[in-house]
């Protein structure tokens, strides 16, 4: 048994959860369940990022206290644990938690002691949507390509900066020493090229009188921490750092044996693999072990956004199709690393073809035969789950489920070809042997589905154990 640490990013609580983040947290959940099934002790972290200019502005617009505003949205993200059937021991951190605030201030002090935080006057084009400064080369027609409808702000003030420029070589050395530090490989190449072009120091504070909703900078009440510096510290504060050194060293790991696996979207690539890693170096803490980057989930070729009205709610999907169906559709029918397009029509088609007419029908057919003709249950061999191991380890969840559904198709074809319902009448002993083999392989499928579709997995395994046909797993719409 070994200790493992898995975390998502912290979504910014200025909108309801969407299926892009649902996919991110489901992927992290699959890994958590997979490692736990292998006997490992896993610390699984998620939560909400609750400071910053966007949230303060929205609270002001709604005539609400910022804390009340973020409380409302944090509750919706916390609800994902129930609705997506996430791992029971999931840790949920909020950046407004008192302990996180203290941890962020301690992290700041350590970076100051290293000489990596300093104050200067600057002017920058700032995208409120990204909470990042933008260079002219990053803009398209003078706008941020990720938030083309948001007008850039020109910030001209005195702020604290983090000395990112001094960590160029250390970051390059990190990527060289760990060629799979960023997954997939093309993202590692992308971020290496970014670092090789040279790094700019980045702002880590805002003036409190301009943006009061943030963590106060230690020893300077006129400034609050810039959202990224505050939010990134959650990955260690959730472990009780800096006080709980035992938990931190156990799950985050050490310099020679890091544990932390981070799942993030491609819009977080720079923050997770450059900014955060340099901050850890500055604070004298071990780096992450690996950062896995997924693409965007688009709808009808467009990035989902409130303004376009094309956001697909995971809550609505669960209400219509059920939790395991949503987990299946997102895990199998999106790319592991590239952008993926998904529509409500496609979701309905996948549900009907692969779950209702596919897995659900197969379970009903086999277990009806088994209940009728077998005198005792069979014991699965667990072969399919072993075949999935390498694909899960490579974060290729869609390929792993392709493998499972290949097994489902094979069983369907055998039933059609060998007709066990006829064979068991004409040659009972041979027919019962075939039915037992089909039930055994169905049990294998049930075991393989455990990290992906936990409830469905348990229902299939229970049906095989009890030699009894279950209720319809995926009712027709």
The predicted structure's pLDDT at residue 462: 97
Within-domain flag for 440: yes
Q: Average pLDDT in the 212-216 region? A: 95
Within-domain flag for 339: no
Of the residues 258, 277, 294, the one at which a domain ends: 294
Tens-place pLDDT, residues 82-119 = 999 999 999 999 999 999 999 999 999 999 999 999 99
Asked whether the predicted pLDDT for residue 302 surpasses 90, the reply is: no
The predicted structure's pLDDT at residue 71: 96
The predicted structure's pLDDT at residue 307: 63
pTM (two decimals): 0.92
Q: Average pLDDT in the 221-236 region? A: 94
Within-domain flag for 89: yes
Q: Average pLDDT in the 325-332 region? A: 98
Residues 126 and 271 in one domain: yes
Residues 242 and 370 in one domain: no
Q: Average pLDDT in the 365-392 region? A: 94
Asked whether the predicted pLDDT for residue 380 surpasses 70, the reply is: yes
405 vs 301, higher pLDDT: 405
The predicted structure's pLDDT at residue 121: 87
Residues 260 and 383 in one domain: no
Within-domain flag for 411: yes
Within-domain flag for 321: no
The predicted structure's pLDDT at residue 286: 98
Confidence band for 350, pLDDT divided at 50, 70 and 90: very high
Residues 289 and 378 in one domain: no
310 vs 186, higher pLDDT: 186
462: domain CATH number is 1.10.730.10
Q: Average pLDDT in the 318-333 region? A: 98
Within-domain flag for 83: yes
The predicted structure's pLDDT at residue 371: 97
Within-domain flag for 322: no
Residues 84 and 214 in one domain: yes
Domain span at 385: 345-466
Residues 290 and 373 in one domain: no
Confidence band for 306, pLDDT divided at 50, 70 and 90: low
Residues 272 and 358 in one domain: no
What percent of the chain is predicted at pLDDT more than 90? 85
Confidence band for 2, pLDDT divided at 50, 70 and 90: very high
Asked whether the predicted pLDDT for residue 11 surpasses 80, the reply is: yes
Quick one: three-class SS letters along the chain?
A: CCEEEEECCCCECCCCCCHHHHHHHHHHHHHHHHHHHCCCEEEEEEEEECCCHHHHHHHHHCCCCHHHHHHHHHHHHHCHHHHCCCCCCCEEEECCCHHHHHHHHHHHHHHHHCCCEEEEEEEEEEECCCCEEECHHHCECCECCCCCCCCCEEEEEEEEEECHHHHHHHHHHHHHHCCCCEECHHHHHHHHHHHHCCCCCEECEEECCCCCCCCEECCEEEEEECHHHHHHCHHHHCCCCCCCHHHHHHHCECCCCECEEEEEEHHHHHHHHHHHHHHHHHHCCCCCCEEEEECCEEECCEECCCCCCCCCCHHHHHHHHCHHHHHHHHHHCCCCCCCEECCHHHHHHHHHHHHHHHHHHHHHHHHHHHHHHCCCCCCCCCHHHHHHHHHHHCCCHHHHHHHHHHHHHHHHHHHHHHCHHHHHHHCHHHHHHHHHHHHHHHHHHHHHCCCCCHHHHHHHHHHHHHCCCCCCCCCCC
């Amino acid at each position: 048994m070994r200790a493992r640490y898995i975390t998502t990013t912290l979504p910014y609580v200025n909108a309801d959860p969407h299926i892009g983040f649902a996919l991110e947290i489901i992927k992290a959940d699959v890994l958590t369940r997979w490692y736990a099934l292998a006997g490992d002790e896993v610390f699984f972290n998620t939560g909400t990022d609750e400071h910053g200019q966007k949230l303060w502005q929205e609270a002001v617009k709604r005539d609400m206290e910022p804390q009340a505003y973020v409380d409302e949205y944090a509750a919706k993200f916390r609800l994902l644990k129930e609705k997506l059937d996430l791992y029971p021991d999931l840790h949920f951190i909020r950046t407004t938690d008192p302990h996180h605030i203290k941890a962020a201030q301690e992290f700041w002090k350590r970076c100051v002691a290293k000489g990596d935080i300093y104050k200067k006057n600057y002017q920058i084009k700032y995208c409120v949507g990204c909470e990042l400064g933008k260079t002219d080369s990053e803009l398209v027609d003078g706008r941020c390509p990720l938030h083309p409808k948001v007008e850039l702000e020109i910030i001209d003030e005195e702020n604290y900066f983090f000395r990112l420029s001094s960590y160029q070589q250390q970051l390059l050395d990190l990527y060289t020493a760990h060629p799979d530090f960023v997954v997939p490989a093309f993202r590692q190449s992308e971020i290496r090229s970014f670092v090789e072009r040279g790094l700019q120091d980045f702002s880590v504070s805002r003036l409190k009188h301009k943006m009061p909703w943030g963590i106060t900078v230690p020893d300077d009440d006129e400034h609050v921490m810039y959202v990224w510096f505050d939010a990134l510290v959650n990955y260690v504060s959730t472990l009780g750092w800096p006080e709980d050194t035992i938990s931190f060293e156990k799950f985050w790991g050490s310099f020679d044996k890091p544990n932390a696996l981070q799942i993030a979207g491609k819009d977080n690539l720079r923050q997770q693999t450059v900014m955060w890693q340099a901050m850890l170096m500055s604070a004298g803490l071990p780096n992450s072990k690996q950062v896995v980057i997924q693409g965007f989930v688009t709808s009808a070729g467009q990035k989902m956004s409130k303004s376009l009205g094309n956001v697909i709610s995971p809550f609505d999907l669960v209400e219509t199709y059920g939790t395991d169906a949503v987990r299946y559709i997102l895990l199998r029918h999106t790319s592991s690393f590239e952008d993926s397009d998904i529509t409500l029509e496609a979701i309905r088609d996948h549900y009907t073809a692969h779950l209702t007419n596919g897995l659900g029908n197969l379970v009903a057919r086999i277990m009806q035969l088994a209940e009728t003709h077998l005198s005792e249950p069979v014991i699965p061999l667990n072969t399919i789950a072993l075949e999935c191991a390498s694909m899960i380890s490579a974060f290729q969840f869609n390929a792993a489920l392709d493998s499972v559904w290949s097994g489902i198709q094979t069983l369907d074809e055998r039933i059609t070809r060998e007709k066990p319902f006829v064979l068991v009448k004409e040659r009972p002993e041979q027919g019962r042997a075939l039915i037992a083999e089909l039930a055994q392989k169905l049990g294998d499928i049930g075991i393989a589905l455990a990290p992906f579709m936990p409830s469905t997995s348990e229902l299939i395994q229970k049906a095989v154990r009890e030699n009894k046909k279950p209720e319809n797993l995926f009712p027709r719409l």
